[in-house]
């Protein structure tokens, strides 16, 4: 699996009841044709990343068919999940630094 691009957005908490920050990321990915995740329609992963007193961690994710926006019933393997989490954390830190400048 290769992450080709992403979008990131800080999720606002209009009621102020959640601690920390939440980031919604869409990762556009490529997977080899022989991978069970492969889809000719393309794939993206919708990720909710939380930053709180414990640090950064994935709340949840969905694997989505890019053209149809259909949620697929697949889970990432442990190493893929770690790759996604590390990528998202790096992007959230970069996003936060850019907003502070």
User: What pLDDT does 88 receive?
Assistant: 98
**Could you read off the pLDDT of 53-73 as tens digits, one per residue?**
999 999 999 999 999 999 999
User: What pLDDT does 2 receive?
Assistant: 94
Whether the per-residue pLDDT at 91 is higher than 90: the answer is yes
Between CA 26 and CA 17 the distance in angstroms is 25
Global pTM exceeds 0.85 = yes
Between CA 35 and CA 39 the distance in angstroms is 9
Nearest in space to 1 (alpha carbons), one of 55, 37, 54: 37
Select the more confidently predicted residue: 34 or 64.
64
CA 77 to each of CA 12, 39, 80, 84: distance values in angstroms, whole numbers, following the listed order:
30, 17, 5, 11
**Could you read off the pLDDT of 5-15 as tens digits, one per residue?**
999 999 988 77
User: What pLDDT does 60 receive?
Assistant: 95
Residue 101 is encoded by which pair of tokens?
């400048």
Report the share of the chain in percent with pLDDT over 90. Answer: 72
| Mean of pLDDT over the chain | 92
């Amino acid at each position: 699996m290769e992450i080709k691009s992403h979008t990131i957005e800080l999720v606002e908490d209009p009621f102020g009841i959640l601690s920390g920050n939440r980031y919604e990321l869409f990762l556009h990915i490529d997977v080899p044709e022989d991978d069970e995740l492969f889809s000719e329609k393309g794939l993206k992963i919708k990720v909710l990343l939380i930053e709180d007193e414990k640090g950064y961690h994935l709340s949840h994710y969905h694997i989505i068919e890019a053209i149809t926006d259909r949620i697929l019933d697949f889970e990432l393997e442990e190493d893929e999940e770690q790759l996604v989490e590390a990528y998202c954390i790096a992007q959230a830190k970069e996003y936060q630094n850019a907003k502070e400048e």
